[in-house]
Amino acid sequence: MGIMSFPLLIMILIAFPLSSSGGKWTYDGPVGEHHWSRNYPYCGGAFQSPINFQPELLRFDPDLQPIQLQDYNLSSKEQLTLSNNGHSVQLSLPSRMHLSGLPHRYSAAQLHFHWGSSNTPTGSEHTINGKQFAAEMHLVHFNSAKYPNISVAVDKSDGLAVLGIFIEVGEFNPAFDQFLKYVNGIKYKGQKVQVAGFNIRELLPARLDEYYRYDGSLTTPPCYPSVLWTVFRNPVSMSLRQYLALATSLFSSQAQESAPMPLFGNYRKTQLMDNRVVLVSFQQGWGLHGATSVASPMQRTLVIQQLLNGDLADLADGGLHHLLPKLQRKPWAVKNWRNNPKQQRLGQATEKHQKNKDLDTTGNNPSVWKNTHASSYMGMFGINDDALCFVSLEKNVSVRLRRHHADAQMSQALRKAVFPELNLKSYLNCRSDLDLQTIRHLLRSRPTDEANELDQALTKVSQGHKQRSMTQYQGSALTKLTGQTQAAVLKNSHNMVPTNHRLQPMEWED
């Protein structure tokens, strides 16, 4: 991408401000989570967090290693900032704290909490088979191997790694008291106090080898799908007094406001799976009987290469439909194909057909999702290492939508633009099933007749047959799961603004 002149950039930003650049939000009410996508369109998009860890989603991965914490034991001479940002209690962390053993080095930035109320101690964001814990702690890390700080990393698809820790009410925990004893100094939004450093490792479960791993998002606006989640299986405890310090002592409003708003129930509800699966590092226990899993990254890479360059007729005859998810797909992704058989084919590879295929619900043709070509997916196989930049993608989509007076379609357009790319990246890392929408996206550059034949075969299977369990396909491409380093993701060659651009400071916790 060429360098954009500063005057031109300013003009673009004035004319097309990002919708996710601001806006008050809460968990309930007129600006509650059901309305987040109005100002933060990614909140209505794909690969959102938190999720419910239910048995049919779990895939045992024997290659997942214990989490490796580096420099977590801080000196008492070091000063940390404890703050109330109006949405949570947040403790700053030095960047020399980091995680190793992941695809990149991830340096610590902060930790914060989500909790319920004094009457209802159920406030964790993630749940296990529907069970919600009293609270949940998030330790947020950014990809310091690629980005200078968390502000730059937060909107990149490989930008963040978050450790999630379930908290139950039980025994007194002296580690939490290292900073909770100062909570009365941050009762109101914007207040901060200094806290002496301590061993952050003591906040985590004893076992760091048992956890859930999946691709997800920030659980607060702007909800970028930029998080590699690691949620530990075993909870830690805090006493009832410590829990009530969170649930009853804090306000989401500032001290000078006449009607203080209590801060509690600050958790987001669980989100749709979007064909994701959850890797687990443990094999014994609830929900894991027979969870052998799916194809290795190498096998998955070969499947994608076949879609891009192979004999599509052979794929149509060879059972590629086994790659379709066993769980029911979400209505937003299939309703047009299901309701209109004429749209179930890929159609003619002509400009006229492509325009018709990309029509939005307004009847206009923003074509906002035509920002990639199948050859771009070669980046998935190591040729480049560029990650999706969600701010730039939103800028690109916003400009195109405004040209066609379709601003209200922002969330839908971003979801359609980003879902195949996220699904493919996650599929290659064994954390998603391959979605039919992604297959169709890959086939856009292939010869029309061959692509139509494969598309018809896949459509017939998806509509006419009930999907069987993936574990039944012995010998197919879905027989064994391994976890290897993350592949690079698609290069977005149409960014409208520099990838580290910030319109306004954004409020986010995760």
**Residue 198: helix, strand or coil by DSSP?**
coil
Strands (E), 85-226: 89-92, 98-100, 106-115, 127-128, 135-143, 160-169, 192-196, 211-216
> Cα–Cα distance between 325 and 426 in angstroms, integer?
13
Q: Catalytic pick from 87, 104, 322, 501?
A: 87
Beta-bridge mates of residue 114: 136
Which amino acid type is present at position 168? E
> Cα–Cα distance between 200 and 24 in angstroms, integer?
32
> Cα–Cα distance between 28 and 446 in angstroms, integer?
47
Do the strands 227-232 and 160-169 form a parallel or antiparallel pair, or are they unpaired? parallel
Q: Is 87 a catalytic residue?
A: yes
Q: Which residue has the tokens 């990650």?
A: 387
- Provide the residue count of the chain: 510
Assess contact for 266 and 27: CB atoms under 8 A.
yes
CB atoms inside a 10 Å sphere around CB 285: 10
> Cα–Cα distance between 69 and 64 in angstroms, integer?
15
> Cα–Cα distance between 326 and 275 in angstroms, integer?
9
Q: Directed axis angle between helix 410-428 and helix 390-403, to 10°?
A: 140
Assess contact for 387 and 159: CB atoms under 8 A.
yes
**Taking the alpha carbons of 382, 329, 277, 149 in that order, is the dihedral positive or negative?**
positive
> Cα–Cα distance between 362 and 406 in angstroms, integer?
7
C-alpha torsion angle, residues 482, 99, 20, 411 (rounded to 10): 10
> Cα–Cα distance between 204 and 210 in angstroms, integer?
12
Q: Three-state SS across 367-382? A: CCCCCCCHHHHHHHHC
Q: 432: which DSSP letter?
A: B
Nearest CA to 126 out of 271, 304, 10, 249 is that of 271
* DSSP H stretches of helix in 404-494: 410-428, 436-442, 448-464
Active-site positions read 87
